């Protein structure tokens, strides 16, 4: 897909694609890379909207200088201090010594922590609802605490109705890579794994920004959104309310020698035979764990199948459940399949783990396999499938 980064004559995309990073934030697989977005607003005063990761400094600087065409920036707007956006603040400030740095009162301490240079004399500190005039363009700032750091702020440009949304509405994937799944899958994986814990804060931001007339969303990662904005905002509303997005069920399993896997696959077959519209199944050890977290949130029902290991859960299942707890998994129906050769314990551990989550309904039927699934286990699986309906 060709990069669609044209915003307007005055607002220029100067971000960079990173297609060589092994793991974004040292944990997320990004087979299509990631983009570090940055923008320049050209008016009587010139504003640069965020910097980029230090992996992309040279290319970003070249893009910015091309957009500036010999002029100097008046402001660097710092909407987020995470190093994938803020790594070049000190370098850029040194390069343009007359440039002001637009921050809020939570940003300033972080700048001092990340950079051993005192930039405080150059701060323009903005508060909720305050504006910065650039000429015919005007930026109004809205605080977005915990979406997904405390200092994050959005900027709304009134004349072109552009929302600079920081991490919100971001997506994995470089801009010049074609994503055959469109926006939603990788935006969902990004959302639940990176922002997912902070649903209440996202809800607050959606309510606050809901009054604005937005024509374009410029996030810090992923494509610039120009059409059908109600679709993206609607998904963010569903996700941040922890409501299931799709009618389906997800079977997630961790299996040592393949016997728990056989049971999980049989379970999926039974669910399909009973008419479940969508049955997703994943081997937690072999599929992208963060995609599994995404699927757990995507559907309203989840069956976890785990081998018993050291009198507890199979480690990858434990990790999966840990991620669900960390991301505030809630409002779902869950069922368990355990396997054990001498003392099955996985279901007990799963029940304990899920009991601390909000509004989780646990199916009464537990399928307890001894070593290998047998015909005699099918009845319990049928019962669990009926209960999960």
CB of 252 to ligand FEO, least distance (A): 27
Which is nearer to ligand FEO, 179 or 338 (by Cβ)?
Answer: 179
Write down the least CB distance from residue 84 to ligand FEO, Å: 4
Closer residue to ligand FEO (CB): 217 or 367: 217
**Phi/psi-derived region of residue 330, left when phi > 0, alpha when psi is between -120 and 50, beta in every other case:** beta
Q: How far is the CB of 167 from ligand FEO (least distance, A)?
A: 4
Q: Cα 349 to the chain's mean position, in Å?
A: 28
* 123 or 149: CB nearest ligand FEO: 149
Minimum distance from residue 198 beta carbon to ligand FEO (Å): 11
CB-nearer residue toward ligand FEO: 84 or 338:
84
Number of neighbours of residue 326 by Cβ within 10 angstroms: 12
Rounded to a whole number of angstroms, the minimum distance from the CB of residue 124 to ligand FEO is 22
Q: Tell me how far apart the alpha carbons of residues 303 and 325 are, in angstroms, rounded to a whole number.
A: 16
Q: Which sign does the torsion angle of CA 153, 123, 96, 46 carry?
A: positive
Query: CA–CA separation, 96 vs 334, rounded Å?
Result: 56
Nearest CA to 50 out of 21, 16, 1, 6 is that of 16
Measured from the CB of residue 52, what is the shortest distance to ligand FEO in angstroms? 10
CA-based nearest residue to 13, from 36, 30, 31:
36
Render 48-93 in DSSP notation, one character per residue. Answer: EE----GGGHHHHHHHHHHHHTT---SEEE-S--SHHHHTTHHHHH
Which of the stretches 15-23, 79-87, 126-134, 290-298 binds ligand FEO when contact is defined by CB under 6 A? 79-87
Q: Is the Cβ of residue 37 or residue 108 nearer to ligand FEO in the bound state?
A: 37
Contacts with ligand FEO by CB under 6 A: the residue count is 9
Judged by CB under 6 A, the chain residues 161 through 190 that form the site for ligand FEO are: 167
- Smaller CB separation from ligand FEO, 221 or 333: 221
Binding to ligand FEO (CB under 6 A) within 293-332 occurs at none
For residue 355, the minimal CB distance to ligand FEO (Å) is 31
Binding span for ligand FEO by CB under 6 A among 77-85, 222-230, 240-248, 309-317: 77-85
Residue nearest to ligand FEO (CB): 82
Helix (H) or strand (E) segment spanning residue 387: helix 378-388
Residue among 169 and 314 whose Cβ is closer to ligand FEO: 169
Q: Which is nearer to ligand FEO, 168 or 316 (CB)?
A: 168
User: What SS3 class is residue 302?
Assistant: strand
Hey, which residues between 208 and 267 contact ligand FEO (CB under 6 A)?
A: 220-221
CB of residue 42 to ligand FEO, shortest distance in Å: 24
Which DSSP letter does residue 193 get? I
Residue 85 found at the interface with ligand FEO (CB under 6 A): yes
Residues in the chain: 389
Work out how close the CB of 108 gets to ligand FEO at its nearest, in angstroms, rounded to a whole number: 18
Subset of residues 104 to 163 that bind ligand FEO, contact rule: CB under 6 A = 148-149
Nearer CB in complex with ligand FEO: 8/328 = 328
Cα(156)–Cα(389) distance, integer angstroms: 44
Measured distance CA(304)–CA(317) in Å, rounded = 8
The β-bridge partners of 306 are 254, 338
Cβ contacts of 217 within 8 Å, gap of 6 or more: 162, 163, 165, 169, 224, 225, 229, 232
Provide the minimum distance between the beta carbon of 260 and ligand FEO in the complex, in angstroms, as a whole number: 36
Torsional sign, CA 151, 102, 51, 237: positive
Nearer to ligand FEO, 80 or 265 (CB): 80
Token pair for residue 141?
A: 């700032």
**Interface with ligand FEO (CB under 6 A):** 80, 82, 84-85, 148-149, 167, 220-221
């Amino acid at each position: 897909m060709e990069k669609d980064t044209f915003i307007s004559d005055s607002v220029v995309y100067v971000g960079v694609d990173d297609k060589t990073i092994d793991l974004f934030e040292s944990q997320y697989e990004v087979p299509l890379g990631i983009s570090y977005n940055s923008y320049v607003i050209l008016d009587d005063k010139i504003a640069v909207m965020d910097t980029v990761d230090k992996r992309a400094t040279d290319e970003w600087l070249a893009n910015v200088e091309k957009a500036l065409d010999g002029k100097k920036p008046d402001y660097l707007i710092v909407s987020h201090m995470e190093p994938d956006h803020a790594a070049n603040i000190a370098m850029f400030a040194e390069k343009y010594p007359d440039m002001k740095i637009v921050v809020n009162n939570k940003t300033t301490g972080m700048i001092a922590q990340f950079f051993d240079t005192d930039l405080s004399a150059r701060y323009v500190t903005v508060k909720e609802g305050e504006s910065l005039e650039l000429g015919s363009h005007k930026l109004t700032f809205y605080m977005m605490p915990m979406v997904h750091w405390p200092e994050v702020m959005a900027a709304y440009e009134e004349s072109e109705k552009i929302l600079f949304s920081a991490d919100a509405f971001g997506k994995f994937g470089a801009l010049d890579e074609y994503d055959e799944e469109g926006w939603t899958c990788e935006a969902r994986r990004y959302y639940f794994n990176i922002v997912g814990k902070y649903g209440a804060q996202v809800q607050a931001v959606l309510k606050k920004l809901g009054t604005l007339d937005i024509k374009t969303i410029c996030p810090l990662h992923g494509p610039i959104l120009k059409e059908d904005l109600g679709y993206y905002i609607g998904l963010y509303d569903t996700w941040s309310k922890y409501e299931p997005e799709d009618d389906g069920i997800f079977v997630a399993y961790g299996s040592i020698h393949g016997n728990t896997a056989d049971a999980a696959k049989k379970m999926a077959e039974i669910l399909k035979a009973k008419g479940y519209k969508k049955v997703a199944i994943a081997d937690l050890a072999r599929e992208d764990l963060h995609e599994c977290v995404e699927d757990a949130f995507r559907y309203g029902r989840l069956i976890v199948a785990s081998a018993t290991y050291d009198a507890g859960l199979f480690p990858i299942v434990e990790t999966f459940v840990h991620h669900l707890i960390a991301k505030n998994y809630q409002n779902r129906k869950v069922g368990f399949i355990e396997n054990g050769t001498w003392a099955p314990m996985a279901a007990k551990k799963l029940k304990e783990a899920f009991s601390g989550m909000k509004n989780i309904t646990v199916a009464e039927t537990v399928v307890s396999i001894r070593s290998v699934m047998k015909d005699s286990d099918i009845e319990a699986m049928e019962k669990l499938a009926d209960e999960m309906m």
